[in-house]
Structure 1
Amino acid sequence: MPSSVISLTILSLLAFGVMNPSANAAERTARPNIVFFLVDDQRDDTLGCAGHPIIKTPNVDALAAAGIRFENAFVTTSICAASRASILTGLVERTHRYTFGTPPIASKFGEESYPAVLKRNGYQTGFIGKFGVSLSRDVIAKMFDSFQPHNRNPYHKKMPDGSTRHETQIAGDNAIQFIKSQTKQKPFCLSISFNAVHAEDGDKRPGIGHYPWPKVVDGMYEDLTLPEPRLSNPKVFESQPPFLKKSFNRVRYFWRWDTPDKFQTNMKAYYRMISGVDHVVGRVQKALKQQGLDQNTVIIYTGDNGYYMGQRGFAGKWSHYEESLRVPLIIDDPREPKSLSGRVLKPMVLNIDIPPTILNLADVKIPAQYQGRSLLPFIKGETPVNWRQDFFCEHLMDNAGIPKWEGVRGKRYVYARYFENDFEFLHDLEADPDQLINFAYDPNYAKVLKEMRKRCDELRDGYGGPFKAWPKPKKRKKPPRKNLQTRLILNHQRHSL
């Protein structure tokens, strides 16, 4: 064969990627679409794929089977406002300084939030559901091309035809509409932020009032008798210091879990709400497939904080125990080889790792101010160098019913300092994985306590230093009329602790 023909043949093969598989890399590594599901008040163990023996979550379980699940995922602050601010900005509460009752997130943080950075770099960005934070309208416009916030209260919304539809399903409707409006010429990032599975705090009727579920899951779990919560022995509650015994953790226990009938009714309703979220996850997956977008869309699923369901005689979140800090985290990148599917990873990962991960997936530079780390190496089956062995956690909301605290959660030891109550906790997860014993006042742990105090101070000071309260706002005789977004935020704050 003449050399000219051989050369032409080789060039043709290269053009089609036959001789060099990496020739198709541009197609395989085209910037992906990203769908980010954020659930309210869902703890890490309330999924079928996490081993829960009762809850049915087949669509989320399928995500975990196709992707990866992190079994040690935590939030740095266990309340929706501060945690959602951290997820947007990549910063801990000590740095972004946002929670209920504070001024809006600073513009310098909002403008470097993951949606704002994506939007600047060519992504079509959308938001649907519970926003949960306050930002200026100008910053929100820099973050999202499509912004559709909606709250609960009530969950069942009246439709134009007179029927009602659950807010979770409405979020799914809007997400599908957004997906159908996309083209393959421009990547998108859609954040779907559920109000579920947060209780309807203003309606304490057990079941349908306090945890109203979508009609699609009517009847689920009805014929079951649910087991009592772990750590519900009254002695566990009695071991708590007085300030926790009087906290919202205990007050809301009597809203939800204090009698066997109330526990059974509310727990089944809560499970239905989770299954309702799972149903919407499946609807969105189906829409992606119908639009031919599923093979280039990364899906992330997580919660904004943990949740007490009667454990320790508590309800809600807020405090330092594992039930409060642990959340689910699943990432499915369909572009990765099947050999990497279904992994369950042990490294300690955080809510503040989500924004750098999203930007890394999009091949966008991560802002230097971010305090989390990208999880992309884990997604690709790699082992990151010098991964964290502990993390700083805290709760700084100014509320008499929620004690402020700061601490460190390490692989073995957990330290929490309730600094306004002059009280410390030290837990040894090896000796006492259920955190039933406080070793802070045990002389045998004096050295460990000193080390954990020092580590807490070191991390705290790196993030912003000792707690500084915001100045109290001056009272106005006639406050100016608030815009729609501000009214939505304030309505959310009244009902969302």
Structure 2
Amino acid sequence: MKNLQSGLLYSLTGAAAVASLSSCSSQKKAEEQKQYNIVYIMTDDHTAQMMSCYDHRYMETPNLDRIAADGVRFTNSFVANSLSGPSRACMITGKHSCANKFYDNTTCVFDASQQTFPKLLQKAGYETALIGKWHLESLPTGFNYWEIVPGQGDYYNPDFITQNNDTIQKHGYVTNLITDDAINWMENQRDKDKPFCILIHHKAIHRNWLADTCNLALYEDKTFPLPDNFFDDYEGRPAAAAQEMSIVKDMDMIYDLKMLRPDKQSRLKSMYEKYIGRMDEGQRAAWDKFYGPIIDDFYKKNPQGKELANWKFQRYIRDYMKTVKSLDDNVGRVLDYLKEKGLEDNTLVVYTSDQGFYMGEHGWFDKRFMYEESMRTPLIMRLPKDFQRKGDIDEMVQNIDYAPTFLELAGVEVPEDIQGVSLVPLLKGEKPADWRKALYYHFYEYPAEHMVKRHYGVRTDRYKLIHFYNDIDVWELYDLQADPTEMRNIYGQPGTEDITKELKVQLSALQEQYNDPVRFSPERDKE
């Protein structure tokens, strides 16, 4: 190295020579810093209730459980904005929606020129790849390789947009195809002399839960109890009452529940026909063979009232679980590949979702609300060999924390404008005394699909304060210890004055910290 630097100095002068020395120094530092591979697997709308490492009520997910058993499980993992595109923007930038400017799925295009953690990893010598769902409207940047599904993507024989800006159709089931491409990139397309970071972003388990044909018959022998608050009357919660995500009222009989018949109509029938119209002859034959008898039985019995509500819930749960089954199998394929190729010891494997999802709680499907089932998201990690930490991590973490975590693991200095906090100390088993005591949340997409009103709020380990605004001005307060299912809004009740005041001070401080232009000021509060 000394002789090389001498030669460079001989041929360069002035500022150019200084720049050269700086470059060599940075390269040497990068070489000395151990740089771990990162395999980041993210699904769409996969909730912790449907992972057996979190919840045993519904199904087993043995491959996801492998990650948790061999590594860590975060028990208090949350998102900053429970909606697909905004959540992805928060994750890739390490910033809240008010900072990355991708607020909702209907009006925004992600500014691809802004700083993201893949770009910073590239500068540190990483090979980066993104495969699957992007959902940020602009084309990806910061990746050596990418191939994405347009928009939400299709389950069967999906289209993919390539780096050549071509749209190609692939034959098969989307979860298998994304995994095929991911493994192929790791095995055949990356520079194996460099560390790598691959984002494997699945379409699953997004609505409308079209399972692979090999899994159609699964779980049909199982009957699941309705959640205790399935018939929630939303007393004292007008925003909750105004939503349009009710299994009973809003779940489409054809689009969501597959009860297609020529003489029956529904709002989303044509979209469903478009989706299953992508199937080849064999796929469609298997589909019709399975759903045909169910359709005939349903229209013959014609259930009504609570019987119909329960029928819809059972079909929804089963179809969702079947879609998870394929996902779990394909996660197993990735884990097996890493083990077979000797990559386990130097690779961080992360599994999460872009948010949680309602499995009948409050009578709902979908997400969006700051309530627990959608604000929470599963997060499990299998750590490199150098990290001995195993088991549960209970500190409150948020999806803005992923970017600084990956950067620190890569030996990259975390930019000051990143709003998340690196999780590396937690992965090392440390218990930082100054770890955050409250989380900020802000949902912006209204009016839009499901009609969940705009709101922001603060969550601590015990309490949650929410302010619904825009066309409504309503506050909600929950004691999560006494009321974990968030059924009793205690805002304004006697005895809550002190905690309400304290939470509003925290809320205001977080909005100032994250520079959210939509702000609440305790000084101007009339309460």
Calculate the TM-score normalised by the size of structure 2: 0.75
Match of 1:352 in 2: 400
Cα deviation 1:387-438 (Å, max 9, x = unaligned)? 1111110101242512000100111110000022110000111222222111
Pick aligned residue for 1:302 from 342, 348, 352? 352
| CA shift for structure 1 position 450 | 2.0
Distance change in 2, residues 1:89/1:433 (3 Å):
same
Equivalent residue letter for 2:173: H
Alignment of 1:354-433 (within 5 A): 354-400=402-448, 401-420=451-470, 421-433=472-484
| CA shift for structure 1 position 54 | 2.9
Match of 2:341 in 1: 291
Match of 1:487 in 2: none
CA contact (8 A) 2:242 2:452 kept: no
Cα deviation 1:295-348 (Å, max 9, x = unaligned)? 2211001111111121112221111210110110011113135x533x112111
| CA shift for structure 1 position 445 | 0.6
CA contact (8 A) 1:408 1:455 kept: yes
| CA shift for structure 1 position 464 | 2.4
| CA shift for structure 1 position 153 | 5.0
Matches of 1:274 and 1:127, distance apart in 2: 21
Match of 2:381 in 1: 331
- Does residue 269 (structure 1) correspond to residue 269 (structure 2)? The answer is no
Match of 1:5 in 2: none
Matches of 1:226 and 1:252, distance apart in 2: 16
- Does residue 106 (structure 1) correspond to residue 157 (structure 2)? The answer is no
Match of 2:298 in 1: none
Matches of 1:41 and 1:252, distance apart in 2: 20
Matches of 2:403 and 2:153, distance apart in 1: 29
Matches of 2:73 and 2:240, distance apart in 1: 32
CA contact (8 A) 1:59 1:281 kept: yes
CA contact (8 A) 1:252 1:316 kept: no
| CA shift for structure 1 position 291 | 2.7
RMSD: 2.4
Alignment of 1:121-160 (within 5 A): 121-135=124-138, 137=139, 140-141=140-141, 143-151=142-150, 152=152, 154-157=154-157
Pick aligned residue for 1:32 from 29, 33, 36? 36
Q: Size of the alignment, in residue pairs? A: 421
| CA shift for structure 1 position 29 | 7.1
CA contact (8 A) 1:67 1:334 kept: no
Cα deviation 1:47-106 (Å, max 9, x = unaligned)? 111132331211110110111000110001111111110001001112222122334333
Corresponding residue SS for 1:278: helix
CA contact (8 A) 1:124 1:187 kept: yes
Match of 1:438 in 2: 489
| CA shift for structure 1 position 252 | 8.1
- Does residue 119 (structure 1) correspond to residue 126 (structure 2)? The answer is no
Matches of 1:173 and 1:355, distance apart in 2: 26
Cα deviation 1:216-244 (Å, max 9, x = unaligned)? 43432121112212421x2x334253443
Matches of 2:376 and 2:227, distance apart in 1: 16
CA contact (8 A) 2:133 2:153 kept: no
Matches of 1:335 and 1:315, distance apart in 2: 39
Matches of 1:62 and 1:305, distance apart in 2: 21
- Does residue 72 (structure 1) correspond to residue 76 (structure 2)? The answer is yes
CA contact (8 A) 1:253 1:310 kept: no
Corresponding residue SS for 2:442: strand
Match of 2:217 in 1: 219
CA contact (8 A) 2:51 2:60 kept: yes
Match of 1:245 in 2: 241
Cα deviation 1:242-274 (Å, max 9, x = unaligned)? 443232333786316962222111211101111
Corresponding residue SS for 1:259: helix
Corresponding residue SS for 1:416: strand
